[in-house]
Amino acid sequence: MHSPAEENYIKAVYQITARQTEPAGTNALAEALQTTAASVTDMLKRLSAKGLVVYAARQGCTLSDTGRQLALQLLRKHRLWETFLFEKLDFSWDEVHELAEQLEHIQSDELINRLDVFLGCPQFDPHGDPIPNAAGQLASRRQLPLASLPLCQPAIIVGVGMHDPAFLQYLDYMGLRLGTQVEVLECFGYDLSLRIALPQGEERVVSHKVAQHLLVGA
């Protein structure tokens, strides 16, 4: 079994190596985990001894196969708990992450599989992110940022490219939720902000930054 601290390191290595081709650096990990580089070096040695990561001094760190499998199981647990909190306990999508950070460390495959069934085996979490299945496989989906959606082509909001609670609260406030139909009516060249149509004749204007982080499916 693995300690919560170890699991958090594995998640951080997974996240960092997912968005770059190079191995995760010590400082990047320290930043992600809100700790010091010295602590990271230390833990990487332990994780390496456990066979969860591939690490050699000053070479950065990548996940081993078992490490990646662990990371995917943690992602599965995290996202299923988020779904539970959102669907069953009525937490908002900006509140679920923090709690799931604790719940994901509960150790029981049986528990998580029953939770999965209880929730109806959801494919996506409250942010639209895919939930790995018991084998660690992720569903994929055709999606693009709202900023890249052609004019006059209706689409559905399916995800967000940014999980900052303030952003999620803003989207809630604007009525831009998962499943909402949107259509770009007009793009203002000056700042690339968009005028968009929502159901029931509602309209909104959103900044380019928002449009970049709002993901839609055709």
Residue ranges that bind DNA, judged by CB under 7 A: 3, 5-6, 25-28, 35-46, 57-60
Please, which residue, 59 or 107, has the CB nearer to a copy of itself?
Answer: 107
Between CA 152 and CA 112 the distance in angstroms is 42
- Contact pick of 49, 56, 106, 205 for a copy of itself (by CB under 8 A): 106
- Contact pick of 5, 33, 37, 103 for a copy of itself (by CB under 8 A): 103
User: Which of the stretches 31-39, 56-64, 108-116, 198-206 binds a copy of itself when contact is defined by CB under 8 A?
Assistant: 108-116
* Closest separation in Å from C-beta 187 to a copy of itself: 41
* Closest separation in Å from C-beta 186 to a copy of itself: 41
User: Which of the stretches 33-41, 88-96, 172-180, 181-189 binds a copy of itself when contact is defined by CB under 8 A?
Assistant: 88-96
Between CA 217 and CA 18 the distance in angstroms is 22
Between CA 59 and CA 5 the distance in angstroms is 22
Alpha helix stretches (DSSP H) within 88-196: 96-103, 109-118, 165-174
- Contact pick of 27, 51, 59, 118 for a copy of itself (by CB under 8 A): 118
- Indicate the helix (H) or strand (E) that contains 83: helix 65-87
On whether the CB atoms of residues 89 and 116 are closer than 8 A, the answer is no
On whether the CB atoms of residues 102 and 78 are closer than 8 A, the answer is no
Q: Is residue 90 involved in binding a copy of itself (CB under 8 A)?
A: yes
5 binds, among DNA, a copy of itself, none (CB under 5 to 8 A by kind): DNA
| DSSP sequence for 13-82 | HHHHHHS-SSPBPHHHHHHHHTS-HHHHHHHHHHHHHTTSEEE-TTS-EEE-HHHHHHHHHHHHHHHHHH
Between CA 161 and CA 140 the distance in angstroms is 15
User: Which of the stretches 14-22, 31-39, 84-92, 136-144 binds a copy of itself when contact is defined by CB under 8 A?
Assistant: 84-92
139 binds, among a copy of itself, DNA, none (CB under 5 to 8 A by kind): none
218 binds, among a copy of itself, DNA, none (CB under 5 to 8 A by kind): none
Residues that bind a copy of itself (CB under 8 A): 85, 88-91, 99, 102-103, 106-108, 111, 114-115, 118
